[in-house]
Amino acid sequence: MEPVTVDSENAGQGCEDEVVERLDPEHALKKRGYTQGMVLDRPDKDNFSTMYEVKQTLGKGSFGIVAECIHRESGDRRAVKVLRKRAILTDRDAYRIRREIEIMKSITQHRHIVRMYGAYEDEKHVYIVLELCTGGDMFHRLIKIRAYSEKDAAQICREALSALAHIHEAGVVYRDLKPDNFLFDTDEDTTSSLKAADFGLSAFIVEREYLQSTCGTPMYIAPEVIAKKYNTKADIWSLGVTLYIMLSGKVPFWGNTMQKTFESVRRGRYHFDDPVWESVTEHAKDCVKRMLTFDPEQRPDARTLLKDPWIVDHGLAAARPLVETVFLNLRQFRNMNKLQKRAAQIM
């Protein structure tokens, strides 16, 4: 199921309660003048084209493309979001791009967060240069290794929580935490590192205050997000949903429409009744329960969960592979998501 609001591939749709009147492209061009410096407040002074050579396209979205690029001086491979100014039709579109860049600047110095190397602008484009991750997303890796264990799942959670703790302490709510947005930096199974990516939906938050926009992907959204009063604890719920899927290949909250999925989330009821859970330890289930605590005030934060006995390195997570059914369920779940994304693109 696709996000309610924007991600890097669907920029410009806005949050559910942020209806934007879109401008006619030609009118927008005439009214606002697409000249250098229009989108970014403080672009890097260097010229992107003199510093980087753009190579193959890796993906496409509403605003432009993501491509591989080469840093001319060092020869390092990196990724770049190339955003077309003609596609940036509203002040809010431009604001969201600036916000994503400011958020990345505030959190990028962490080993489990995709690094941003710079943001540039010329007359026609905005360029955001990022760390290139070639190891696939979270579930792609688990399906690749096939016979994965609780220990593998715990390590993934540990690295995700490390990133979340840093993000939250910087005063940021991720708002679209899901497996697709966690990438491995290389395809080496034993040495690669998990990286949080895509902060197009993320927002700054002041301590003891709440956000209200309903943002994210329905099956991962916390109940308080639907209620329009949430903070960083909403990301913990989303990670709990992700862990539930990792350990079973099943989705805890689901409906055949977005509204029915929201109703399932609002109820907050999930279970471990499926036979696939028989091989999962009680320690793992307890960790899921902690993350899916319905009351966000009682839900532990990322730093607290990093000390969970199942999460810690050399902790209580079982090393034996999970049953084959988990892998088959997870592969089916991922294939279903791919089909839904293609259908959404066609529509």
Kindly list the domain boundaries of the chain, sorted by start residue. 25-131, 138-346
Q: State mean pLDDT over 238-243.
A: 98
Please, what is the average pLDDT of the chain? 88
Q: pLDDT band at 307, cuts 50/70/90?
A: very high
Q: Is 176 tagged catalytic?
A: yes
User: Contact 129/186 with Cβ under 8 angstroms?
Assistant: no
pLDDT at 157 over 90: yes
Quick one: pLDDT at residue 340? 64
Cα–Cα distance, 136 to 243 (Å, whole number): 18
User: Contact 196/211 with Cβ under 8 angstroms?
Assistant: no
Fold match, 25-131 / 138-346: no
| Tokens of residue 321, six digits | 């592979």
Overall residue count recorded for the chain in this entry: 347
User: Contact 116/128 with Cβ under 8 angstroms?
Assistant: yes
pLDDT at 211 over 70: yes
Name the CA radius of gyration of the chain, rounded. Answer: 20
In the chain, the percentage of residues whose pLDDT exceeds 90 is: 75
pLDDT at 346 over 50: no
Locate all alpha helices (DSSP H) within the chain, ordered by sequence: 25-32, 48-51, 91-107, 138-145, 150-169, 223-226, 233-248, 258-267, 282-291, 302-305, 324-346
- Given the residues 93, 176, 198, 308, the one annotated as active site: 176
Q: Which CATH number fits domain 25-131: 3.30.200.20, 1.10.3720.10, 3.30.360.10, 3.90.550.10?
A: 3.30.200.20
Amino acid identity for residue 308 in this structure: D
Establish whether 81 is an annotated binding residue: yes
For 72, the 3-state DSSP assignment is coil
For 47, the 3-state DSSP assignment is coil
- Domain formed by 138-346, architecture: Orthogonal Bundle (1.10)
Within 8 A by CB and 6+ apart from 240, the residues are: 288, 290, 291, 292
Model pTM score: 0.88
